[in-house]
Structure 1
Amino acid sequence: MKPLPEIRLMPTRPALEVRPLEKRVGLIILATDHTSEPDFRRMVASERIGIYVARIPYKNPTTPQNLRKMQPELTAGAALILPDEPLDAICYSCTSASVVIGDAEIEAAIQAAKPGVPVVTPPMAGVRGLRALGAKRISILTPYTVETSRPMAAYFAERGFEIARFTCLGFEDDREMARIAPAALVDLAREATDPQAEALFVSCTALRSALAVAAMEQAIGRPVVTSNQASAWNCLRLCGDDVPRPEFGRLTTLPLGQ
């Protein structure tokens, strides 16, 4: 073997930028999630905004009892995202669990590891999106069972929405939910939308519904808000990104509402 070359240490180090990317969005997802990470990389990530992902333990079936078991994992999951560095927003990407656990409890658990970071949940973002669109009478479509759908209906009713029609598909496994084709969701949107509804909310971060928003809106003739689309929109606005993205629905052309 030839002698190794002398290793030269540069006498000066290059100047460091404040951050590799200007804005940072944390994303906490289920161990079984196939959809949230690709959706956020598609809708949020850019040369200015980075997406930093942590997965937490989760086992099917998707029942209120199993969803609630994730709450103790949220602090540890948040702590794994760029430890000791600030984030501009962090999203816990599970709609049904957010409803069962509660937005305030999720915020407290995440902020125990990331103090002061704005926390987004899909149902919270959905409510903000529907209000930004001016919708009060809505239809809701979920892939869940009736048992798991009940807390979702209560969540939106408690926030002042009139639910004209609520439709669920009866799935218990989020991995199967992710295998529903976006084109099939367009047909389901037609069936799930009440003629008197002002908008349709499509729940579940496992569904690939963000890819079908524009087609669903065209099919039903009114706005569509989905879990990942609304969460992405909310996170973008928190990062100061106001660029319209009409290919992901009418909501993404609007400023952030409350």
Structure 2
Amino acid sequence: MTLDIQIASRAPELDERPIEKRVGLIILATDHTTELDFQRMVARERIGVYTMRIPYANPVTPENLRAMHPSLTSGAALILPDETLDVVMYSCTSASVVIGDATVQAAIQAAKPTATVVTPTTAAVAGLKALNAKRISVLTPYTVETSKPIADYFIGLGFEILSFTCLGMTDDREMARIPPAEIVSFAREAIAPDSDALFISCTALRAAEAAADVEAAIGKPVVTSNLATAWACLRLCGDVVERPELGMLMQQPMAHCN
């Protein structure tokens, strides 16, 4: 018996897009954390999250971070090739500093010219401003060498750093293994009494998961790298829903992200 396979009488009608808004993530090959955070905090019925991993080799040093720059354009181009994205987020805080926010933006927009580019540093600055935080404490998992450019970045933008604590780690895969409860414990030690907020740097850390617990422990707002980028991507996609269970930042509008 020969099966007669027939073509339908008409072509299907198509939506303009499968999902209304598109957020592209460029993350490190070694990243354990960002995708899970964005699926938990950003992805929803009207916002799709699409990921590309780019080469990265430990240890976390300024030289190895800077080496990712040539991969940014090709990485962005492979996220839904030949289609537009609303936002592209490069998920590395320390590399955004050593490469430079403007350089990261130019590299990504070479492939996705209409996308708004978010880095953890631009998002963190926008988040701290939204919280009216000018005097901050900083906690990083990095070495002193890698932490110093982070400090210079925020000081250069007019923030006063009252305390800066780093954990001296060099492997982002180990940073991802720090339990959220440990992050809360280190946050208690890192916060200066007169700080307006605590910034916890590094997209590898599971700090966004711990943000609400950190705020309960220190009595002040916290901005983490992934919490800030998730917040910025949501607001840039028109999502203004307040989510207090994720921390104080997720209750704020966004006025700055450049």
- Establish whether TM, by shorter chain, passes 0.5: yes
Q: Which among 37, 49, 58 is matched to residue 47 of structure 2?
A: 49
Using the size of structure 2 for normalisation, the TM-score is: 0.98
Tell me the CA shift for residue 257 of structure 1. 2.3
The 3-state SS of whatever aligns with 1:114 is coil
The 3-state SS of whatever aligns with 2:194 is coil
Residue 227 of structure 2 corresponds to residue 229 of structure 1: yes
Tell me the CA shift for residue 116 of structure 1. 2.5
Structure 2 spans left out of the alignment, 5+ residues: none
Amino acid at match of 1:13: A
| Distance across 1 between alignment mates of 2:212 and 2:234 | 19
Moved over 4 A (4+): none
Amino acid at match of 1:90: V
Residue 152 of structure 2 corresponds to residue 154 of structure 1: yes
Q: Is the 8 Å Cα contact of residues 86 and 114 (structure 2) preserved in structure 1?
A: no
Matches within 5 A, 1:88-237: 88-237=86-235
Evaluate the alpha carbon distance shift between residue 6 and residue 40 of structure 1 in structure 2; reply closer, same or farther with a 3 A threshold. Answer: same
Amino acid at match of 1:151: P
Q: Which among 7, 10, 21 is matched to residue 9 of structure 1?
A: 7
Tell me the CA shift for residue 4 of structure 1. 4.8
Q: Which among 74, 77, 80 is matched to residue 78 of structure 2?
A: 80
Cα deviation 1:36-86 (Å, max 9, x = unaligned): 000001000001100010000000000000000000000000000111111
Amino acid at match of 2:246: F
The 3-state SS of whatever aligns with 1:71 is coil
Partner residue, 1:19: 17
Using the size of structure 1 for normalisation, the TM-score is: 0.98
The 3-state SS of whatever aligns with 2:132 is coil
What's the C-alpha RMSD, in Å, of the aligned pairs? 0.7
The 3-state SS of whatever aligns with 1:215 is helix
| Distance across 2 between alignment mates of 1:49 and 1:13 | 27
Structure 1 spans left out of the alignment, 5+ residues: none
Amino acid at match of 2:29: A
Cα deviation 1:198-250 (Å, max 9, x = unaligned): 10000000000011000000100000000000000000000000001111110
| Distance across 2 between alignment mates of 1:120 and 1:257 | 14
Partner residue, 1:59: 57
